[in-house]
Structure 1
């Protein structure tokens, strides 16, 4: 488990706000076009059992409920107030709510920080009032909330079914889309919905913590445009995912999407790939497409986890067996290798033309006996090589496609599948052509808690989420073996002094200083020498001998050495070194006449290998983050990199290396030997610990690192120093 501090130790204060005994609707209205009207209708029609206090100075009754001229005039102390009034009225109303004992307010109005400087000033005034009076804020610029198990529906949405999926969505339209999809599905229900809006006060981490504690929520589902405190969210996610699944759809996967998210909510959207990697690091199931949100949430809620990614496919048609196999491979799942015993058992009940290799194609065996599919599922589910089972085809529609007399056999098959689901801990997932029309056999399966999908792609995405969650939980549940936890690293006094000197001089670490930092903490760096002037090259040439050398300028003012002509390669002998020194000095002077040049760095040429890059940033949303990927041209062209939050566990580092799409390059391509993955994992862990030990390290870039079958070589290193950061504390 990633040892970020923070656990769910105290009960969330949101329980009182999201399940209040009394609600004030400020701006309640009898006008059907107003939100104050819809909120009243939602509470009354939904059967809210608490006290309702409509606030409107111009009405005595609203929808038959006594109205009050102000919040101060309310006789009771409602825990929650819904503010349906313009933005300018909000600060004063919050102060009034606080004096009345209201614990939380839901602010529908826009016109705050998302609109510019004036709105930001109004938002600061609002927050000052809230802090002064102890009032928590949902929003502003929120679509509202509902809590169906407490009959609270401030959105007045119709046909909402209570269930176990909790939703937090920065888009009101996305919530509406999910609600309509659930209505069409007929089997999916919701517990709580919150629109976080601008997250001026309460943020995603607070809402996730609440859903983690909520006994009516079995799976937490979030539509996220941007986090305010991503580091805190990861801390909470680590704890919640240990208890129940968390599904996130993160918008902003393109530059255009990121711009839209920022203008919509005023949130920092950050790097999409980085966000996704960090969420998965902490057990969150991330979906790529919006139409996957509800299917994956439903599947995880019903089935929770699979032991791994080995899937057995039972199909009544070769085409769909092929499609399922393609989608499984694309999702990183495996077709399980069925045992000889399982194949013999399948051959005993199937027609001779059936294929008993995975995917299993029954080839007409079930046309007159659809319950046979249940027996096939039972056989493969009992195979130790199988982690989950996928049935694809027309189950549920045999009586419609062939003969009504088959309905009884289909129902017996459905009952056998239900019995199997109760007897095994392996997930059973069904794709059926007939899912949209909900025939009796499929209704029976759904009633029993088996997920049924009308899309092979959705079924496979659910299986992928189940496998990912199962492997993640298995890793977290492993007992720590002796020496398995990574020891902390203490800063070296001499290196703290180097950081302090660089900070005082307003510069970053020079390359040789950066490599000294690495070497001090057990990272192998090539032997190198600094030549301040031409005469130093004689001794350096004698020391290295007749081997090819590289020479690089040492300058605080020249960051991109190659652009300035500050790098010369494959230098052999004193004459070559002297000539390269002169050319570097001339080129760098032309590039920047005012650059302070300390000399050159001379080091042996690295032998050929696989170039990788390791980088660290201190992200303003997520804190310190480590990046690993293929280096050289691969970085620019493929962008094949992986991110993890620091500190890393060994499991995190292993996953980073295995995550790369082009990992076959590391394993050895076209007869080349594979690289030493264990050495790369060790390097990643040491870099993570260095970042922890030196808070004054703002960014780190090792590019390239040359990976070999027997280790690695750090060819270039750059460390950016946090300006003004004291280094005197350990």
Structure 2
């Protein structure tokens, strides 16, 4: 299996650290219970070809290797130090490493920032020493490192095979689980592993960049509990996924964005769903279950991609064909519609009772000749309507189930499948009942690089990942991201004024921001007195109107009785205005009320929400979904990192479960999706131009066949920006 060619803009400095020519083991020991012993054993047993420098002031030799009393006493030129000593010793040892010219240190000890208090102070001291002496830190609180192609096994794990799956995992037990699973599988091997620990220095984005450049890594696999710099990770992921697959299992959810939530968007941001959407936007293959990690990594490493999501299923059992069809549909894949020419070729080789409609059921045709399954795979793979082929059933077990004499047919079938895989770019994925016992035909497929699975569900997840990656690569190359608009001085002044007054933008100010940058916003007027009301009535005529209170102190207008709808005529407007003012004063006697906003009622349509949050981990993020009062209950929303491409915006609209409502139901016309896409792109372009915009909620936006109308808009001002300090000094 050849490594993926390609390169990132700059070479990662981690190559020298993770593939060093010399390693100092600080705290090396002859005691088998110590990590310093296990690390020495791992290096020696795996045949590390560089220099090993045990550091222990109480020993002359450790496991037959000369020991040194201190780091500074080492005569050679190690590039990496493994520090196995207690946390309190680490800052001083980092300084010694720096003086010795060591470029990186792996720190196993816990007791740093993860325990708070003094541990956090100790970690700051360690980082000060590292920065002063130019030492990069892996950890602290890390499970360790291995690089099997360079015979570096600092974890002393047994029976881990060199291969092309690179792993970064915040859980040492998860690595152990994957290593044991790979050992049982017998076909998956690893390149590099790192436990990032506290990420006090080197973070996930740095490790991913290294794996992207590493010639021995064909697929990067990450177990993530939390990102330190999610925004940077997304940028690196876009670079790496253009060259090779990246698989992420994300545990838990990010809560930081929810703690400061002050809008619908803020309440929904920071969720696991948001993280998944942003990762997929960057081309990452996200797996939902831990037992999918290795199968998906293996499948993507072997097959890389599928050009689409149309799958041809070939089965020797109707029940499993049905199960496969169900799982494919649930995964967003399609059963390919086989051409009549393909079906005719299948009928030529199969019994009359066989079904040639996808899923193809051979109906006993292969019982006496299992190599026919390979023939069927070849026939459907030649169909232009097919993007990938999924063999489901008992291949490999015919000679076990029926007669040993069928072994030759199965081996011939396996060779034919291998030949087909070399002749086609379409992925071939095999599920067999007999996978756990590894019969010869399945071993042959595995040896040739065809993925064979013991689960229909895992097989389908691999097919889905291949289809998702293929579609991502197809669209990513031709998509430019929306450029920011140029900020207007008068609008920047609105933010400054609002911040100085300790408030957010009024609704009419938020709509002015949108209107001035090309967003379609209905005509509106702020009525502060009876004269302005009369002028508004004259200008707006007998159109049904919406009237809403304008107050920095009343955020939920409907709850305060601050909204009146379908108001027609000046007399009705006067009554509505008085009712709004009375209700709002009763709701909050101290509320400052600027006036009442008057605007024409929007045409009937579908209510959606468009929002923006500046997430503390991922930066500015746009949200889209079904709107109205139920948005936080239904949570049928999609997220993308800003700036967006047009494909990003379209995919948001297509992602939500309620998209069928947008397409028209019960006689309603379909909405103008392209207008909606334009709105998402315009909002995306506005955000970068106004750093004081902390959150934005357009809820609802009413969309219909003629476009959209922004009915309500809320912009929350960031009162903690650098601009705040500049204003204060001014």
TMscore range, shorter length: over 0.9
Q: CA deviation at 1:255?
A: 7.8
- Residues of 2 paired with 1:485 and 1:42: CA distance? 47
Partner of 1:3: none
Partner of 2:104: 104
- Residues of 1 paired with 2:43 and 2:340: CA distance? 61
Q: CA deviation at 1:616?
A: 0.3
Partner of 2:4: none
- Residues of 2 paired with 1:19 and 1:675: CA distance? 56
Q: CA deviation at 1:121?
A: 1.0
Partner of 1:557: 553
| CA 1:37–1:388: 2 relative to 1, 3 Å | same
- Tell me, yes or no, if the aligned pair for 1:531 and 1:599 is still in contact at 8 Å: yes
Q: Deviation string for 1:307-354 (max 9, x for gaps)?
A: 000000000000000000000000000000000100011111111111
- Tell me, yes or no, if the aligned pair for 2:226 and 2:254 is still in contact at 8 Å: no
- Residues of 1 paired with 2:644 and 2:671: CA distance? 21
Q: Deviation string for 1:587-617 (max 9, x for gaps)?
A: 2223222222110001122232111000001
- Tell me, yes or no, if the aligned pair for 1:25 and 1:52 is still in contact at 8 Å: yes
- Tell me, yes or no, if the aligned pair for 2:253 and 2:270 is still in contact at 8 Å: no
Q: CA deviation at 1:248?
A: 0.3
Partner of 1:593: 589
Partner of 2:704: 708
Picking from 623, 640, 647, the partner of 1:644 is 640
- Tell me, yes or no, if the aligned pair for 2:653 and 2:659 is still in contact at 8 Å: yes
- Residues of 1 paired with 2:652 and 2:482: CA distance? 17
Partner of 2:723: 726
- Tell me, yes or no, if the aligned pair for 1:534 and 1:581 is still in contact at 8 Å: no
Partner of 1:34: 34
Partner of 2:192: 192
- Tell me, yes or no, if the aligned pair for 2:148 and 2:192 is still in contact at 8 Å: yes
User: Where do 1:161-560 residues align within 5 Å?
Assistant: 161-253=161-253, 270-478=270-478, 486-560=482-556
Give secondary structure in 2 for the equivalent of 1:365.
coil
Q: CA deviation at 1:635?
A: 1.3
Select between 542-551 and 102-111 the one with higher mean Cα deviation.
542-551
Select between 410-419 and 492-501 the one with higher mean Cα deviation.
492-501
- Tell me, yes or no, if the aligned pair for 2:700 and 2:710 is still in contact at 8 Å: yes
- Tell me, yes or no, if the aligned pair for 2:254 and 2:271 is still in contact at 8 Å: no
- Residues of 2 paired with 1:370 and 1:223: CA distance? 40
- Residues of 1 paired with 2:477 and 2:100: CA distance? 47
- Residues of 1 paired with 2:630 and 2:672: CA distance? 19
- Residues of 2 paired with 1:334 and 1:502: CA distance? 52
TM-score, length basis structure 2: 0.95
- Tell me, yes or no, if the aligned pair for 1:146 and 1:152 is still in contact at 8 Å: yes
- Tell me, yes or no, if the aligned pair for 1:229 and 1:622 is still in contact at 8 Å: yes
- Residues of 2 paired with 1:248 and 1:520: CA distance? 41
Q: CA deviation at 1:694?
A: 1.6
Q: CA deviation at 1:102?
A: 0.8
Q: CA deviation at 1:575?
A: 2.6
Give secondary structure in 1 for the equivalent of 2:73.
coil
Partner of 2:263: none
Give secondary structure in 1 for the equivalent of 2:620.
strand
Give secondary structure in 2 for the equivalent of 1:215.
coil
Q: CA deviation at 1:632?
A: 1.9
User: Where do 1:109-188 residues align within 5 Å?
Assistant: 109-188=109-188
- CA RMSD across the alignment: 1.8
Give secondary structure in 2 for the equivalent of 1:726.
helix
Structure 2: gaps (5+ residues): 1-6, 260-268
Select between 170-179 and 570-579 the one with higher mean Cα deviation.
570-579
Q: CA deviation at 1:82?
A: 0.7
- Residues of 2 paired with 1:348 and 1:187: CA distance? 36
Give secondary structure in 1 for the equivalent of 2:547.
strand
Q: Deviation string for 1:636-664 (max 9, x for gaps)?
A: 33211100011100000010000111211
Q: CA deviation at 1:485?
A: 6.3
Q: CA deviation at 1:63?
A: 1.4
Q: CA deviation at 1:536?
A: 2.4
- Tell me, yes or no, if the aligned pair for 2:255 and 2:270 is still in contact at 8 Å: no
Give secondary structure in 1 for the equivalent of 2:612.
strand
- Tell me, yes or no, if the aligned pair for 1:303 and 1:466 is still in contact at 8 Å: yes
Partner of 1:266: none
- Tell me, yes or no, if the aligned pair for 1:634 and 1:640 is still in contact at 8 Å: no
- Tell me, yes or no, if the aligned pair for 1:226 and 1:270 is still in contact at 8 Å: no
Q: Deviation string for 1:547-568 (max 9, x for gaps)?
A: 3211111112222212222112
Q: Deviation string for 1:55-79 (max 9, x for gaps)?
A: 1122222112122121122112211
- Tell me, yes or no, if the aligned pair for 2:504 and 2:715 is still in contact at 8 Å: yes
- Tell me, yes or no, if the aligned pair for 1:305 and 1:427 is still in contact at 8 Å: yes
Structure 1: gaps (5+ residues): 1-6, 260-268
| CA 1:254–1:554: 2 relative to 1, 3 Å | closer
- Residues of 2 paired with 1:202 and 1:574: CA distance? 66
Select between 539-548 and 199-208 the one with higher mean Cα deviation.
539-548
Give secondary structure in 2 for the equivalent of 1:693.
coil
User: Where do 1:598-617 residues align within 5 Å?
Assistant: 598-617=594-613
Give secondary structure in 2 for the equivalent of 1:614.
strand
- Residues of 1 paired with 2:74 and 2:504: CA distance? 61
- Residues of 2 paired with 1:234 and 1:218: CA distance? 19
Give secondary structure in 2 for the equivalent of 1:72.
helix
Partner of 2:264: none
Select between 502-511 and 9-18 the one with higher mean Cα deviation.
502-511
Give secondary structure in 2 for the equivalent of 1:672.
coil
Q: Deviation string for 1:8-44 (max 9, x for gaps)?
A: 3221110110011111111111111111111111111
Picking from 532, 554, 579, the partner of 1:583 is 579
- Residues of 2 paired with 1:104 and 1:16: CA distance? 8
- Residues of 1 paired with 2:209 and 2:482: CA distance? 28
- Tell me, yes or no, if the aligned pair for 1:316 and 1:361 is still in contact at 8 Å: yes
- Residues of 2 paired with 1:633 and 1:374: CA distance? 55
| CA 1:355–1:291: 2 relative to 1, 3 Å | same
- Residues of 2 paired with 1:96 and 1:190: CA distance? 32
- Residues of 1 paired with 2:174 and 2:629: CA distance? 39
Q: CA deviation at 1:584?
A: 1.6
- Tell me, yes or no, if the aligned pair for 1:503 and 1:725 is still in contact at 8 Å: no
- Residues of 1 paired with 2:553 and 2:606: CA distance? 30
Q: CA deviation at 1:254?
A: 9.2
- Residues of 1 paired with 2:491 and 2:79: CA distance? 55
- Residues of 2 paired with 1:158 and 1:376: CA distance? 42
